[in-house]
Every structure is written in structure tokens, then in C-alpha cells.
Amino acid sequence: MSDLSKHANRIKKLAYELGFSFVGISKAEHLDSEEKSLTDWLNKNHHGKMDYMANNFDKRLDPTLLVEGTKSVVSLMYNYYAEQKQGDDSVPKVSKYAYGEDYHFVVKDKLKTLFSLINEEIGSVNGRVFVDSAPILERAWAKKSGLGWIGKNSMLINKSQGSFFFLAEMFLDIPLEADGPIKDYCGTCTRCIDACPTSAIIGDRIVDSNKCISYLTIELKDEIIPSTFSNQMENWMFGCDICQDVCPWNRFSKENTEERFTPKYDLLNMNEEEWIQLNESTFQLLFKNSAVKRTKFKGLKRNIDFIKPSYKHP
């Protein structure tokens, strides 16, 4: 067995032991096939007011420009699927990925440990680790390494366990045996497109962020959400899981085993009136170390008032 293969297998074994569900490896090179689609997406303003998506264009496409000396990209998937749900359908809803502790902290800790173990067992390896923290086309690298395919909802779908995963990367300065991509298994299915209440999925693997509920409730920082979307949010106050919940491949999803993702009792059991009456002290307590803190209290209240306008208080 060559060193390329031996080192690749060892890295994967260490990652699995730390709780990562799937690991794939790609050669660090320019993402030629993604350049045109990214250019078109940006030129048509499908990124909305996420101006950062237009920054560092070249670095998004070439890992060696982001981290000099990178020879291999290791893509990893960390499961966050939860069987538990909030109350009934009348309750303002939070996306499953934000039920527990902020994934940036949890997965980054795992990556740092993995990087240390690689240096202990393989030798001196330089590089950087990322969890949604740099200009990286995460789904493109995961696809390239065979972890899944890009679904019609633009999510990375794994054939074994669906799409409820956080993606992470390691840019390493050592050559590793690369994996290859797999075929697309969406077929003629259009469930995600049909189910999106705001018609945000506008083409083959193209999402217009301006219409996406996740964008409207998290990324959009305006004082108000456009009235165009009144009665279309289906009670989502932070993120949205609709296009994933209806995906047939997610029938294979398995409950995550990460203790730090365990949702707080109050989060799952607050009733509609308690959410509507939410104050800042409760917000800080309920969402301590949570990804929901991204919206800040003011942003979450904006979202709740928008989806529950008849309850809005002066």
C-alpha cells in the first residue's frame, strides 16, 4: 500500500473515531466546473444581500490560493439529524441544525483534535481546518470527494443518510489518495421544488436566496422582511427544513449521537404564546452558545412578529 493510500485511510479512521459520519478526499485544484455557475449566480444577484459571497472569488475556486501549499482537501460530514420536534405546527420553528450548541464550536473542536492526531501519527502536516468559516465551496468539495451529490435544493445529499449534515474541511499540505465523485440520484423527483412555499428553488440546483426562508430569517438584516412573503413562512422563525424534510433520501437519516446537540427542554416545549412574549433575558438563556444568537434578540423578534402579525405588540 502506498503512503498516499495509507495516510488517507488513517485520516479517515481517525475521523470516524471522533464521530464524523463520512469522509472523502480530493486533490487540491481549481474547481473549473463551478466557476461559471458561481459567476452566473452572483451576476443574477441570487446571493441577495450576502455581499461576502462575492468576495474572494478566486480563493473560493482554488484552495491553494486560500492556503498556500495545500495539496489535499479532506471533506467531512457531521450528523445533526434529530427525531425530536418542537410542539405543534402553530409554534414558531427553529431549524434542526440549531437545536443544540452552535455547530461551529462543536465541529471545530473535533477538527482541531483530528489535526493534532494526524500530526502525531503521520508526521509533520501543515494546513488549516474550516467549519463554514472561510470562502470555501463546501458542497462542491464534498461532491468532488464522493460524499454525495448536489440535490435540486442545492444541498449535498448522501445516498446512505440524506442531507442533515454539517460540512467541514481540512486543507493539508500532503498528497493523499483521492476519492472520486458519485452519480446524481435525484432522478425526476421534484418534491423539494414543489414543497418550497416561497418558490426559492428556481432552477436545476439553483436557489434564489432572496426568496429562501433561511436567508430571510437569518442572513437578511433589514428592519423588516418584505411583505411579499406574508403567510408564506410556514411558522419558520430561524432557518427552514422544508426542502430537506420532504426529500425521499432523508428517510435514511439517523438520530445524531452528539451530546452537545441535545436540544434544551424549553426549546422543544415552549408554546406559541411563550414565543410571542419572548423577552431578551429568556432569549439569552435559551440560546446560550446557540447558532440562533446570529440573529440577536432583535432579529428573532422581527421574525416572530412577521409570522405572527396578529399578535404583534406595540
Enzyme catalytic residues: 132
The amino acid at residue 234 is E
What DSSP element (H or E) covers 24? Answer: strand 22-27
**Cα–chain center distance at 84:** 19
Q: What is the distance of C-alpha 290 from the center of its chain? A: 15
Kind and range of the H or E run holding 203: strand 201-203
Query: Which strands make up the sheet holding 72-79, listed edge to edge?
Result: 22-27, 72-79, 165-172, 127-130
How far out from the chain centre does Cα 136 lie? 12
Q: Which residues pair with 170 in a beta bridge?
A: 74, 129
What is the bridge-based pairing of β-strands 206-207 and 201-203? antiparallel
Distances (CA, A) of 6 to 1, 126, 164, 273: 6, 18, 30, 57
Tell me how crowded residue 90 is: count the other CB atoms within 10 A of its CB. Answer: 11
Rounded CA-CA distance 31/106 in Å is: 28
Q: What's the rounded Cα separation, in Å, for the pair 229 and 64? A: 41
73 neighbors 146 (Cβ within 8 angstroms): no
Cell numbers linked to 133: 468559516
CA distances (Å), 47 to each of 44, 52, 152, 212, 250, in order? Answer: 8, 9, 17, 10, 26
